[in-house]
């Protein structure tokens, strides 16, 4: 009989739902296991293959843990604010709230159809005031500590749509994706969260978590810690000093000029009037370059002199001050000491503008007189460096640092690439920023008791003239809570990464009203034990969440230092080598496969395709193999209906009491149970499925000569191991065998019979001079003496060894015996 998935799947889904089989008892954290997959972004109503690949296998892992006896908490929610819903509104006129809620409704149905075991009591969404109120509360706490602050920052401004664009809305040629207008850089006051205060801890914490090494590397690079020195250069004729940061103070004697970033405020101070016109022209030019143009590959260096001079504090030398955009305003001090002899960028710049190049570091084994054809950027021996000449770089760095500190002209310093987190969005569909601007009192945070600042529904989200909230007068106009006078609300909303920075804390009690989250439950359940999501979040979401967690810990409301203990990345499923996306039109729709094979088979096929962390290119070739396997399992169960009752299995079997077929099969079952547990635990679903296929092959060839109660034993184990991978099918088979309870309703564990895992005979490979020449079946742990007797008596081996001198014998017990002859 064909496996009737169309009847079986809804039947068990209803059963699970009616009996609340997957409701977690959160009061019991004894064997707690919080497993989470990154919540879903409801930008469309359909789940594509990528979603399935993310949620299906992860759910199988959670189910596996539940069967192992863990109290598993697996919730799901919706990352419901964000740009796509707003863009959709602009295009179609459908309000973001309406389209989002519709999508959520559809998605919820589909997630249930997948057969996931989410605890729907814990569902949450970010676009409702009950949730985003706490974003605002979080903002206020950060504000109080000075960790939420305002500063000018450049944004992408679309002059046609009169709106701010996200980086991904700007095409590589610098035009807007929507309007086609040339995008400009505009400085606007923006809110930031001061993540840089946590830079060091974010770096150090990486050592304590079980994350993919590649992701830790990405975060380390992103934080970009750099140890060096800050040095003060006097400006000739001015009281101001130029502060530079360098990692190579040992090259200080090689400085031949100093460069300021165009945005550095000192530029205006140092500029010599005679150079003013050229400077202004240059600054203007730089301003209109997009980020992409400014950082374009292989772009030639540009810059202008200021006519001013700086004084090298170590030797009193006067060197010219230049302005050039290869120096970044946002890193270090926004100015550098240029050492063209030992820095590639400075070398290139000096060569172009005919600035002197001086050699102060000597490459080991080279003559001081040898000319520099390019910058020598490695360490070496210091030369032409006054009292430091002759020192190795490593020692010289320390000595120079000591000298600078003693003289008060510099000090050791640490810099990070990590920048503060810009959270302002000049957009509608997000959390309103809880700040007002009073005519008299100035900038004021909204009092906590007045939260939430509700996002108004009735707005005009058509583009043009700033963000929708800025145009909505009855939202903007408000009364100052301090003086009762006229005030205006902040028209911006928050980055949606704020929403996702703490949602895992709220899941245990999503309706909680007395605070951001239920502290006592969160203490018990957080950190998330296993967190699954795409590697594309390595430096954004996953870093922001760590930061906010640490901040909440410092507030005293979150426990522990890290939010996510173990992290797994699912790979990406591509189509014809490209990422699936609506715009490319290469989305694979799972529906046709679900209709044809059922959800379990589709889920299992996704797991069988290859290593979960690698993903791969989509192909439906091979899904029939998984279908056949499911069918065989089903047929087995149906052919042995009621066996659990009629021929109850023993807990274990003595190997001696079994015939050859039974022994082989009994061993195979135990081996498979053991193997699958290990494989699933480590998200290696493909090999787990393969192991089960092997088991069913073995059943096929031995069952006819196996006694009935052992058949029951084998079938029960098969179904049990299959249950996480194909939950509906397994429940149905379990039922058919005569079991009265659902597998998931009353989880129980089987343990492996260790005795059955012991192998008594092995295939020993016999090599001559490293080449495989023969294979022998021998008893396990056979002593070397007996082994040699067998080996050298073998006629085949004799043919290779006779008449030759045996130089060496290598014996790896139970694996290999290698004879070296001459």
Partner RNA sequence: GCCGGAGUGGCGGAAUUGGUAGACGCGCUGGACUCAAAAUCCAGUGAGGCUGAAACCUCGUGCCGGUUCGAGUCCGGCCUUCGGUACCA
Lay out the sheet containing 421-422: strands in order across. 163-165, 148-158, 184-193, 421-422
Query: For residue 378, what are the contacts with CB-CB under 8 A and spacing of at least 6?
Result: 361, 363
Q: Which of 4, 390, 622, 642 binds RNA (CB under 7 A)?
A: 622
**Distance, CA of 140 to CA of 142 (rounded, Å):** 5
Bridge partner residues of 488 (DSSP) = 437, 477
> CB of residue 622 vs RNA: minimum separation in angstroms?
4
Q: Give the CA distances from residue 515 to residues 249, 554, 676, in Å, rounded to whole numbers and listed in that order.
A: 51, 16, 43
- The CB density around residue 332, as the number of other CB atoms within 10 Å, is 22
Q: Considering only CA atoms, which of 198, 255, 199 is closest in space to residue 229?
A: 255
> CB of residue 563 vs RNA: minimum separation in angstroms?
21
Cβ atoms 426, 155 nearer than 8 A: yes
Number of residues that bind RNA (CB under 7 A): 83
Interface with RNA, residue 257, by CB under 7 A: no
H-assigned helices in 26-67: 49-67
3-class secondary-structure state, position 747? coil
Q: Which of these segments, 71-79, 177-185, 585-593, 617-625, binds RNA (CB under 7 A)? A: 617-625
Q: Which of these segments, 232-240, 389-397, 551-559, 685-693, binds RNA (CB under 7 A)? A: 685-693
Identify the helix (H) or strand (E) that includes residue 187.
strand 184-193
Q: Which of 171, 189, 454, 614 binds RNA (CB under 7 A)?
A: 614
Q: Which of 278, 301, 524, 553 binds RNA (CB under 7 A)?
A: 301
For RNA, give the closer residue by CB, 17 or 536.
Answer: 536
Strands 442-445 and 435-438: antiparallel
Interface with RNA, residue 411, by CB under 7 A: no
Q: Which of 352, 411, 440, 579 binds RNA (CB under 7 A)?
A: 579
Q: Which of these segments, 458-466, 499-507, 560-568, 624-632, binds RNA (CB under 7 A)? A: 624-632
Cβ atoms 253, 290 nearer than 8 A: no
Interface with RNA, residue 262, by CB under 7 A: no
Question: Segment 631-650, which members bind RNA (CB under 7 A)?
Answer: 631-632
For RNA, give the closer residue by CB, 208 or 763.
Answer: 763
Q: Which of these segments, 267-275, 441-449, 645-653, 813-821, binds RNA (CB under 7 A)? A: 813-821
- 821: exposed, middle or buried (C-beta count within 10 Å: 0-12, 13-18, 19+)? middle
- 820: exposed, middle or buried (C-beta count within 10 Å: 0-12, 13-18, 19+)? middle
Interface with RNA, residue 775, by CB under 7 A: yes
Interface with RNA, residue 771, by CB under 7 A: yes
> CB of residue 179 vs RNA: minimum separation in angstroms?
25
For RNA, give the closer residue by CB, 522 or 689.
Answer: 689
For RNA, give the closer residue by CB, 609 or 726.
Answer: 609
Question: Segment 737-766, which members bind RNA (CB under 7 A)?
Answer: 763, 765
Q: Which of 690, 752, 801, 821 binds RNA (CB under 7 A)?
A: 690
> CB of residue 301 vs RNA: minimum separation in angstroms?
6
Cβ atoms 404, 231 nearer than 8 A: yes
Interface with RNA, residue 703, by CB under 7 A: no
Interface with RNA, residue 167, by CB under 7 A: no
**Distance, CA of 468 to CA of 163 (rounded, Å):** 10
Question: Segment 419-478, which members bind RNA (CB under 7 A)?
Answer: none
For RNA, give the closer residue by CB, 529 or 753.
Answer: 753
For RNA, give the closer residue by CB, 345 or 707.
Answer: 345
**Distance, CA of 665 to CA of 669 (rounded, Å):** 6
Q: Which of 130, 197, 392, 694 binds RNA (CB under 7 A)?
A: 694
- 127: exposed, middle or buried (C-beta count within 10 Å: 0-12, 13-18, 19+)? buried
> CB of residue 7 vs RNA: minimum separation in angstroms?
18
- The CB density around residue 436, as the number of other CB atoms within 10 Å, is 23
Cβ atoms 286, 181 nearer than 8 A: no
For RNA, give the closer residue by CB, 555 or 821.
Answer: 821
Cβ atoms 319, 312 nearer than 8 A: yes
**Distance, CA of 768 to CA of 808 (rounded, Å):** 10
Interface with RNA, residue 384, by CB under 7 A: no
Rounded to whole angstroms, the maximal C-alpha distance in the chain is: 110
Interface with RNA, residue 340, by CB under 7 A: no
For RNA, give the closer residue by CB, 297 or 406.
Answer: 297
Interface with RNA, residue 172, by CB under 7 A: no
Q: Which of these segments, 22-30, 193-201, 469-477, 607-615, binds RNA (CB under 7 A)? A: 607-615
Burial 651-689 (b: 16+ CB within 10 A, else e): eebeeeebeebbbebbbbbbbbbbbbbebbeebbbbbbb
Q: Which of 141, 162, 226, 661 binds RNA (CB under 7 A)?
A: 226
Q: Which of 29, 415, 478, 586 binds RNA (CB under 7 A)?
A: 415
For RNA, give the closer residue by CB, 390 or 799.
Answer: 799
Question: Segment 517-546, which members bind RNA (CB under 7 A)?
Answer: 535-536, 538-539
Q: Which of 456, 616, 642, 648 binds RNA (CB under 7 A)?
A: 616
Q: Which of these segments, 94-102, 427-435, 606-614, 749-757, binds RNA (CB under 7 A)? A: 606-614
Which phi and psi (to 5°) does residue 578 adopt? -110, 150
For RNA, give the closer residue by CB, 513 or 795.
Answer: 795
Q: Which of 371, 457, 585, 621 binds RNA (CB under 7 A)?
A: 621
Q: Which of 299, 318, 582, 746 binds RNA (CB under 7 A)?
A: 299
Question: Segment 174-213, which members bind RNA (CB under 7 A)?
Answer: 213
> CB of residue 113 vs RNA: minimum separation in angstroms?
24
Cβ atoms 139, 148 nearer than 8 A: yes
Q: Which of 46, 417, 482, 524 binds RNA (CB under 7 A)?
A: 417
Q: Which of 32, 186, 294, 358 binds RNA (CB under 7 A)?
A: 294
For RNA, give the closer residue by CB, 18 or 213.
Answer: 213
> CB of residue 429 vs RNA: minimum separation in angstroms?
24
Interface with RNA, residue 628, by CB under 7 A: yes
Strands 71-73 and 32-37: parallel
Q: Which of 74, 325, 662, 753 binds RNA (CB under 7 A)?
A: 325
> CB of residue 502 vs RNA: minimum separation in angstroms?
23
Cβ atoms 86, 100 nearer than 8 A: no
Q: Which of 442, 625, 642, 648 binds RNA (CB under 7 A)?
A: 625
Cβ atoms 306, 279 nearer than 8 A: yes
Question: Segment 343-372, which members bind RNA (CB under 7 A)?
Answer: 343, 345
For RNA, give the closer residue by CB, 284 or 295.
Answer: 295
**Distance, CA of 119 to CA of 300 (rounded, Å):** 57
For RNA, give the closer residue by CB, 579 or 804.
Answer: 579
Query: For residue 360, what are the contacts with CB-CB under 8 A and spacing of at least 6?
Result: 250, 251, 253, 254, 339, 341, 342, 382, 383, 384, 385
For RNA, give the closer residue by CB, 476 or 638.
Answer: 638
Q: Give the CA distances from residue 196 to residues 142, 419, 732, in Å, rounded to whole numbers and listed in that order.
A: 13, 6, 54
Q: Considering only CA atoms, which of 37, 205, 180, 86 is closest in space to residue 543?
A: 205
Which phi and psi (to 5°) does residue 362 adopt? -100, 125
> CB of residue 368 vs RNA: minimum separation in angstroms?
23
Identify the helix (H) or strand (E) that includes residue 718.
helix 708-722
Binding mask 11-50 for RNA (x = CB under 7 A): ----------------------------------------
**Distance, CA of 32 to CA of 25 (rounded, Å):** 10
């Amino acid at each position: 009989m064909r496996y009737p998935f169309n009847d079986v799947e809804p039947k068990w889904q209803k059963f699970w739902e009616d009996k609340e089989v997957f409701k977690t008892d959160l009061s019991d954290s004894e064997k707690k296991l919080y497993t989470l997959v990154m919540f879903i972004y409801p930008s469309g109503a359909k789940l594509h293959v990528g979603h399935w690949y993310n949620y299906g296998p992860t759910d199988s892992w959670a189910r596996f843990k539940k069967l192992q006896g863990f109290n598993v908490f697996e919730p799901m929610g919706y990352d419901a604010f964000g740009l796509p819903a707003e863009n959709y509104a602009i295009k179609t006129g459908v309000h973001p709230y309406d389209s989002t809620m519709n999508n959520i409704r559809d998605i919820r149905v589909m997630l249930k159809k997948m057969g996931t075991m989410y605890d729907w009591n814990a569902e949450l969404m970010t676009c409702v005031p009950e949730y985003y109120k706490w974003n605002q509360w979080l903002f206020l706490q950060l504000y109080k500590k000075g960790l939420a602050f305002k500063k000018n920052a450049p944004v992408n401004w679309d002059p046609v749509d009169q709106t701010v664009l996200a980086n991904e809305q700007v095409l590589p040629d610098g035009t807007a994706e929507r309007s086609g207008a040339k995008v400009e850089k505009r400085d606007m006051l923006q809110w930031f969260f001061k993540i840089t205060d946590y830079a060091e801890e974010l770096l150090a914490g990486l050592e304590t978590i079980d994350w993919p090494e590649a992701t830790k590397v990405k975060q380390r690079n992103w934080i970009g810690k750099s140890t060096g020195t800050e040095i003060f250069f006097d400006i000739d004729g001015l009281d101001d000093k130029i502060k530079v940061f360098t990692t190579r103070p040992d090259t200080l004697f090689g400085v031949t000029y100093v460069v300021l970033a165009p945005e550095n405020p000192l530029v205006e101070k140092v500029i010599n009037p005679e150079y003013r016109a050229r400077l202004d022209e240059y600054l203007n030019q730089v301003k209109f370059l997009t980020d992409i143009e400014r950082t374009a590959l292989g772009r030639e260096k540009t810059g202008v002199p200021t006519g001013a001079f700086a004084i090298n504090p170590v030797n009193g030398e006067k060197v010219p001050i230049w302005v050039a955009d290869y120096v970044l305003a946002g890193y270090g001090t926004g100015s550098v000491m240029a050492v063209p002899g030992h820095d590639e960028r400075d070398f290139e710049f000096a060569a172009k503008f005919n600035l002197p190049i001086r050699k102060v570091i000597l490459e080991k084994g080279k003559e001081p007189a040898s000319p520099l054809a390019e910058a020598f950027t490695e360490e070496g021996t210091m030369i032409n460096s006054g009292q430091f000449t002759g020192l190795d770089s490593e020692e010289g760095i320390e000595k120079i640092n000591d000298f600078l500190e003693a003289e008060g002209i510099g000090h050791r310093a640490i810099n990070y690439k990590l920048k503060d987190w810009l959270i302002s969005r000049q957009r509608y569909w997000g959390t309103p920023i809880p700040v007002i601007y009073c005519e008299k009192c100035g900038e004021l945070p909204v009092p906590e008791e007045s939260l939430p600042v509700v996002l108004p529904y009735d707005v005009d989200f058509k583009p043009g003239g700033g963000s929708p909230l800025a145009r909505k007068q009855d939202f903007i106009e408000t009364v100052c809570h301090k003086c009762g006078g006229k005030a205006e609300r902040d028209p911006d909303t928050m980055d949606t990464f704020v929403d996702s920075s703490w949602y895992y804390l709220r899941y245990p009690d999503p309706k909680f009203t007395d605070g951001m989250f239920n502290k006592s439950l969160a203490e018990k359940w957080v950190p998330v034990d296993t967190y699954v999501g795409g590697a594309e979040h390595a430096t954004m979401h996953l870093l922001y969440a760590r930061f906010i967690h640490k901040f909440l810990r410092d507030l005293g409301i979150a426990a522990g230092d890290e939010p996510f203990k173990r992290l797994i990345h699912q790979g990406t499923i591509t189509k014809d080598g490209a990422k699936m996306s609506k715009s490319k039109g290469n989305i694979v729709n799972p529906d046709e496969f679900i209709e044809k094979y059922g959800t379990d088979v589709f889920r299992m096929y996704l797991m069988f395709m290859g290593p979960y962390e690698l993903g791969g290119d989509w192909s439906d070739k091979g899904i029939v193999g998984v279908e056949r396997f499911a069918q065989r399992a089903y047929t087995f169960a149906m052919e042995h209906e009621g066996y659990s009752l009629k021929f109850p299995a023993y807990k274990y079997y003595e190997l001696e009491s079994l015939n050859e077929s039974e022994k082989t099969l009994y061993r195979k079952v135990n081996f498979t149970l053991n193997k699958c547990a290990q494989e699933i635990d480590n998200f290696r679903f493909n090999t787990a499925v393969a192991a089960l296929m092997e088991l069913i092959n073995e059943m096929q060839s031995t069952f006819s000569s196996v006694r009935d109660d052992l058949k029951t034993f084998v079938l029960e184990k098969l179904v049990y191991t299959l249950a996480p991978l194909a939950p509906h099918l397994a429940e149905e088979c379990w039922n058919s065998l005569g079991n009265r309870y659902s597998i998931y309703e009353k989880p129980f564990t089987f343990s492996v019979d260790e005795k059955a895992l012991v192998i008594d005979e092995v295939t020993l490979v016999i090599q001559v001079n490293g080449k495989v020449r023969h294979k022998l079946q021998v008893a396990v742990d056979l002593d070397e003496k007996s082994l040699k007797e067998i080996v050298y008596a073998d006629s085949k081996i004799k043919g290779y060894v006779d008449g030759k001198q045996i130089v060496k014998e290598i014996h790896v017990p139970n694996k290999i015996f290698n004879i070296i002859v001459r």
